[in-house]
Amino acid sequence: MPTQCGVFHETYASDMQWRPTTTQRLRIALVLVAVVVLPFVLSTSEMRIANRVVVAAIGAIGLNILTGYTGQISLGQGAFLASGAYACGMLMVYYQLPWPMALLTAAFVTAFIGGIFGLPSLRLKGLYLAVATLAAQQLSQWVITNWDPIDGRINGRADGALNIPNSYLFGNPDWRLNGNEYAFYALGLVILIVVVIASSNLFRTHIGRAFIAIRDQDIAAEVMGVNLFQYKVLAFIVSSFLVGLAGGLTAIHSTAISFERFSIEVSIEYLAMIIIGGLASISGSIYGAAFIVIVPELLRTLGREIAGTDPAAIREFNRILPFVQQGVFGAAIVLTLIIESEGIQRLWRNVKDYFRLWPFSY
């Protein structure tokens, strides 16, 4: 079976292939088979976790485009997720838009908001830009908690959250997206595949190369003719569009949404996803999303098995669980930075390189 041991392309078409070797294509085929078979082997509760991974992966890819590929640090991920979720929910509630139109419109609304908060990126970088994006988090929290149509208040009466109407896949009542985990998985998986293909090909274009040039050395990029302001704002727009998609899917998957689901902790979790999974890597975004979503569920399951049926032990477990999860996340980030700064995707690449070069060590 041919493997990639060098660059031997003889045509432009061969050079531009996304997966040029048979081994790479086989791996992609196996992954597609695995994700298609997944609903047939998982329970409903496990499918709900899988759906959370799918949504988180879309949002993580959006953040990685901004932070990993363009070098623009953002702490406003929760705000942009909230923008997509509330825009989608309000369009469905107040304007009775069909969910596909509401989802796409919410993504464009979030892209516009992201572009506005990306305007300071020309003058700010590093931690200063991170603080500027943190303002988006605080501003969105204030708007959501004080504007009646957003926070679920009707005629001054608070009802706690924005209730989302039922939506159906292909109009089939049996495929309710906020009630049938298998139906939502089909939708989320298709969107994730499209996002992965589009994002991977983005960095084969002049736009993606401009993003990378800005990350590596923005002054040199500007000298070579890259318009820093244009491409930095564009990075915010593209990133926010994908994050808005994730937020809209969160709304469609829910019966009600409230701001507690989009707090600053969510922004930190998404940063952890791309750090643990691997910066500047589309596949790393998916690995990191799976890690951050699945590990807390594993800890919860393990704790319940240890606690058993003792009420006192269960209460104590529920009390310490958030601290254990935070400790595991922190340890995972530190170990990633110490052991392999490029994250899970680099570890997987090392495994592939080992088998590609075996039995030779070079």
Q: Which residue has the tokens 């943190």?
A: 134
* 20 found inside a domain: no
Q: What is the pLDDT of residue 115?
A: 94
Range of the domain at 93: 43-357
Number of domains in the chain: 1
Q: What is the pLDDT of residue 283?
A: 94
* 337 found inside a domain: yes
* 146 found inside a domain: yes
Q: What is the pLDDT of residue 155?
A: 46
Per-residue pLDDT of the chain (362 residues; tens, 9 = 90+): 455 666 677 777 777 777 777 788 898 999 999 999 999 999 999 999 999 999 999 999 999 999 999 999 898 899 999 999 999 999 999 899 999 999 999 999 999 999 999 898 778 887 888 888 888 888 888 888 777 667 655 444 445 678 899 999 988 888 999 989 999 999 999 999 999 999 999 999 999 999 999 999 999 999 999 999 999 999 999 999 999 999 999 999 998 888 888 988 899 999 999 999 999 999 999 999 999 999 989 888 888 887 777 788 778 878 887 888 888 888 888 888 788 888 999 999 888 888 777 777 65
Q: What is the pLDDT of residue 68?
A: 94
* 219 found inside a domain: yes
Q: DSSP character for 359?
A: T
Assign residue 87 the CATH number of its domain: 1.10.3470
Q: What is the pLDDT of residue 311?
A: 80
- Cα 112 to the center of its chain, rounded Å: 18
* 10 found inside a domain: no
Residue among 270, 289, 250, 276 nearest 331 (CA)? 276
